[in-house]
Amino acid sequence: MERTKVNWTTLFAMGAAVFVIANDFSAINVALPTMEQDFHTNINTIQWVVNAYALTFGVLIVTGGRLADMFGRRTSFFLGAGIFATMSAAGGAAPTETFLIVTRALMGIGGALMWPAILGMTYAILPEDKAGLAGGIIIGAAGLGNAAGPLIGGVLTDLASWRWIFFVNVPIAAFAVAVVWSSVHVTDPKDSDHQIDYAGITAISLGLVSLLIALDQVDDWGWGDPRVIAMLAIAAIGIVVFPPLERRAGRHALIPRDVISNRDFAGSCVAILCMSATFFAALLYLPQFMEKELGFSPLEAGLGMLPALATFGLVSFVAGPLYTRLGAKRLAVIGAACMTAAAILFSLIGASAGYGALVPGMVVLGIGIGTFYPTATTAGVTSVDESRASLAGGIVYMFQIAGGSIGLGLTTTIFSSFNPPFIDGFQAGFRLDAGIALVGLAVSVLLVGGSLLARRAEATT
């Protein structure tokens, strides 16, 4: 496909697909109480509607990227979209909670195939000087979908039914498939040796599943619970044995050495890992503050997030031109600094604060998310060979999920040790997030985008 102009319809379609994948992480949260009543079950069971999707997606996202680079991004996207749409329709019609949980797990598999394929195709079809535009639109759509989830889920649940959270995915996925089928004709990747690293996939999947389950359940079980200790031990084993397995696999490794040893790529991943603690904490605890401290309904709390949502949406879509003008390092540092400042502002919220006290922090957070994530992702993905783009995109998103999950697990532990009162836990949790964000800011200053800019400067001379 010619890389001389921007096909806005194609970008919109792929952005819409990413939006619904990300939206399904958070839109379900506000509907869980209604699902619990409809299925006559309990919260411990129904929460697996959320967990099943997050686990399969988070664990398989790297594998999805590797498969897309090996077998073709269009093929991977179409397969993933078919699974995602079919399971969305099945989930919307689910007769039991068990059936719904299974469909959600399969939706996660579909999303894990789609997401890295979309990212790889987007960077492949655009001219190199438009890489920032690709990051702004696709990563912006992902963040927007995640942040808008509570609002969309609340509106659909209140005005129609929670089942429509699933049904709306079907026409959007069909639209994306139709557009990609007709307009995206990317060349198959150079890495077409179809030998799959099963040992590496097994090790990293086992490690990530165990880690995510432990972090998800630690608030209920406690850090000293044998189940948490066992999960963390299994996670450690999987993560420790993964590098030797990758070295033995050589060029067939799930994560090839030339990717993980890339300075720009590693810097972007570590920065994203750190900054995601603040992002995930804000998505969870800001709506809770509005409901528990201010008396908002779930729908009102979703609407209350609009300052962050609107700012993020606006900034993320102008991040592309800013990326070209300012460069990756400057823009990533600006975004990381804003997210750090937002965490500090939230940590200073007092017990008698009204909604207005949240707005400055939400606006600053929206600016930070809208500049940092598209920039760090673009800097990381474009620093590796184009044949590795889908894999790189999958790894970056895995670090975002892992960073958010680890940060949220730590934040929840701190929060619980101070709560009640709620406000004390809220302040302490965001103090921790501010500290983690400072580390991410330092990594952004030192590692994100530096050598990438130097190479591009050389290429233009």
Judgement on whether residues 191 and 206 belong to the same structural domain of the protein = no
Query: 162: closest CA among 171, 154, 172, 151?
Result: 154
Q: Is 456 inside a domain boundary?
A: no
Calpha distance 65→76 (Å, rounded)? 9
Q: Does 120 share its domain with 269? A: no
Tokens representing 219 are 């608030």
Domain residues for the domain of 242 are 198-253
Look at residue 19 and tell me if it is in a domain: yes
Which residues have C-beta within 8 Å of that of residue 65, sequence separation ≥ 6? 116, 117, 120, 390, 391, 392, 393, 394, 395
Asked whether residue 458 is assigned to any structural domain, the reply reads no
Both 116 and 96 in one domain: the answer is yes
User: CA-to-CA distance for 52 and 41, rounded, in angstroms?
Assistant: 17
Q: Please give the Cα distance from 205 to 213 (Å, whole number).
A: 12
Both 277 and 366 in one domain: the answer is yes
Which residues are CB-contacts of 182 (< 8 A; sequence separation ≥ 6)? Answer: none
Contact predicate 209/403, CB 8 Å: no
- Same domain for 12 and 146? yes
Per the omega criterion (within 30 degrees of 0), is the bond before 421 cis? yes
pLDDT at 430: 93
Q: Are residues 44 and 68 in the same domain?
A: yes
Quote the crossing angle between the two packed helices 263-292 and 328-347, to the nearest 10°. 30
CATH of the domain at 2: 1.20.1250.20
Centroid of chain to Cα 367: 17
Residues 413 and 271 in one domain: yes
* Pick from 394, 381, 1, 60: nearest CA to 181: 1
Same domain, 215 and 136: no
Q: What pLDDT, on the 0 to 100 scale, is given for residue 457? A: 44
Residue 299 within a domain: yes
Write the DSSP assignment of 187-198 as a string of letters: PPPS-------H
At residue 83, the 3 state secondary structure works out as helix
The answer to the question of residue 329 being in a domain is yes
Counting the structural domains of the chain, the total is: 3
Distance, CA of 461 to CA of 454 (rounded, Å)? 11
Q: Is 378 within the bounds of a domain?
A: yes
213 and 186 in a single domain? The answer is no
Q: 97 and 4, same structural domain?
A: yes
Using DSSP's 3-state secondary structure scheme, residue 384 falls into: coil
- Do the beta carbons of residue 295 and residue 406 sit within 8 Å? no
* Domain assignment present for 460: no
303-342 CB burial, b ≥16 within 10 A, e <16 = bbbbbbbebbbebbbebbebbeebbbbbbbbbbbbbbbbb
Asked whether residue 319 falls in the same domain as residue 366, the answer is yes
Which secondary structure element, helix H or strand E, spans residue 45, and what is its range? helix 43-46
Residues 397 and 278 both lie in one domain: yes
Q: Which residues contact 461 (CB under 8 A, 6 or more apart)?
A: none
| pLDDT tens for the 461 residues of the chain, in order | 445 566 778 888 999 999 999 899 888 877 877 888 899 887 667 778 887 898 888 888 888 888 888 888 889 999 999 999 999 999 999 999 999 999 999 999 999 999 889 988 887 777 766 666 666 777 778 878 877 887 888 888 888 899 999 999 999 999 999 999 988 776 555 555 557 778 888 888 888 888 878 877 777 788 888 998 999 999 899 889 988 888 887 777 777 777 777 888 888 889 999 999 888 888 878 888 888 888 887 778 878 888 988 888 788 777 777 777 888 888 999 999 999 999 999 999 988 889 999 999 999 999 999 899 888 888 888 888 777 777 888 888 888 888 887 887 788 778 877 767 888 888 999 999 999 999 999 999 887 765 544 444 444 44
| Global confidence as pTM | 0.78
**Is residue 457 in a domain?**
no
